[in-house]
Amino acid sequence: MRLGAIKEEGFSAQTVDFKKLTSGLTAEQWVTQNFNQLHPVNQWVLTELSQTTQTIDAALEEFRINDAAMALYQCTWAQVCDWYIEFSKEILKSNSKHEAETQITLLFVLESTLKLAHVFIPFITEEIFQHLPARVGVHQGDALMLQAYPKLTFKSDAAVAKIDLLSKNKKIKVI
């Protein structure tokens, strides 16, 4: 809901202008350029997603489709949905200086996850992709199947250690 204008009965979210937010860069370019300055939560999820991408690539090269799908499922469910979205809610509702970077990172993680999942569930990912907000590098109606497959190389051992400690202690407050 924090990625664009959502109009449901009784609810509307503020429109996010990602083209302005990223200064004309794609979400991937922006995240890559700013990775070392990102909040540890954002560095952590990008590191986790990068490791998962490498695991998926290795499994697909060896035709271990089940292992690739399971790696994606575990990352999406256990890292992104269980922890990252909860951590990002705290950042987004605090109106901190990390709000914009978290919105960009959320969009990038969602888009990258859709690209990874497209191998396994193409019709579902294509439909979701069509509803993502306007952003640099993607025009209205562009097909997900024509987007570049993610080659992620983000790594922050410090962020991983910090967030692992928080998640083991079941603490959500990250600001």
- Neighbouring CB atoms inside 10 A of 62's CB total 10
pLDDT in tens, 131-156: 888 889 888 889 999 999 999 999 99
pTM of the model: 0.88
Task: Indicate the range of 26-35, 80-89, 165-174 predicted with least confidence.
Answer: 165-174
Average pLDDT over residues 107-120: 97
